[in-house]
Structure 1
Amino acid sequence: MLAAFLDDIRDGDLIAPKRMADRLRLPLTRLSKLAHLNRNVMTSRPESPAVQEKLGQIARIIARAADLSGEEGRAIIWFKYQPIPGWGKTAEELVEEGHADAVLEDLERMAEGVYS
C-alpha cells in the first residue's frame, strides 16, 4: 500500500504537490493550507526541504492508514471524514491545526491494537 501511494505522488525523488492533491481529491489551495505552505511556493519550489517535509507528513499519514485499512481509498476517506476518538476531529483537521505527529502516533497505537 505504502509503495503504491508514494509511487503515485512522486516525481523522481520528490513528492509532487499536484499529484498529491489529485490523489487526495483536494484543490492545491486546500493542500497548501493543510501543509501550512504558501501555495505559490509549494508549486514553484516543490524541492524545498520545508515543502517536502510537510507533504511527507501527510503522505506518511495516508500511507500508514492505508496499511491499516488495506485500501488507499478507505484511508483517504478516513483522513477527511472520520473523527478520531479522543480528539473529536478528523485527521485532516488535526493536520491543519499542526498536529500531524499526534495523528501518526494515534495510527501507531491502532497498529498495536490500542484504540482511543
Structure 2
Amino acid sequence: MNTGDFEVPARSQSLSARRVAELLGVNLTELASLIGVTRSTLAANAGARKVDAALSPVVRILSMAGELAGNGQRAAIWFKHQPIPGWAGKTAYDLVREGKTDKVFAYLEGVRSGIYA
C-alpha cells in the first residue's frame, strides 16, 4: 500500500475504516476504540460523517508518516511500534488513543522540518 491510499477524500466519499484497520493490522473493534467511536458506528452508514471525522486524523498522520518513511506499510509500523521521543515510550498509536493527535502532528512537523532526525 502506498501513501496515495491515505489522501483525505472529497466530501462525497467516505474514508475506509476497513482499509485503515487492515493497514494497521487491527480489527474494526480495535480501530473503533482507537478513534473513539463504537464498533456499531463504524459499521453503520448513518454514522459515516462521525466516522470520517474521527478517522481523518489517523489517515492524515499515516499520510504524513508515509511521506517521511517512504510508504504506507512503514508508516503503519512506525505508528504502532516506534516510541515518540519525549513521551515516555508512547507511540503515535498510544497518543491518538489518548486524544493527543495534535502532539503526533507536532512531532511529524518537527521531523519534516529537520528538528528531529
Answer yes or no: same fold by TM over 0.5.
Answer: yes
How many aligned residue pairs are there? Answer: 114
TM-score (norm 1): 0.87
The residue aligned with 1:3 is: 4
Structure 2 unmatched ranges of 5 or more: none
User: Cα deviation per residue 1:14-73 (whole Å; 9 max; x = unaligned)?
Assistant: 102122211221100110010000110121136532211110100000110000111211
- Map 1:25-36 to 2 at 5 A: 25-36=25-36
The residue aligned with 1:107 is: 108
Structure 1 unmatched ranges of 5 or more: none
CA RMSD of aligned residues (A): 2.3
Q: Give the letter aligned to residue 33 of structure 2.
A: K
Which is further off, 102-111 or 39-48? Answer: 39-48
The residue aligned with 1:63 is: 63
Larger relative contact order, structure 1 or 2 (CA cutoff 8 Å, min sep 6): 2
- Map 1:19-30 to 2 at 5 A: 19-30=19-30
- Measured in 2, the distance between the counterparts of 1:43 and 1:29 equals 10
Does the 8 Å CA contact 1:14/1:47 hold for their aligned counterparts? no
- Measured in 2, the distance between the counterparts of 1:16 and 1:51 equals 9
The structure with the largest strand share of the pair is 1
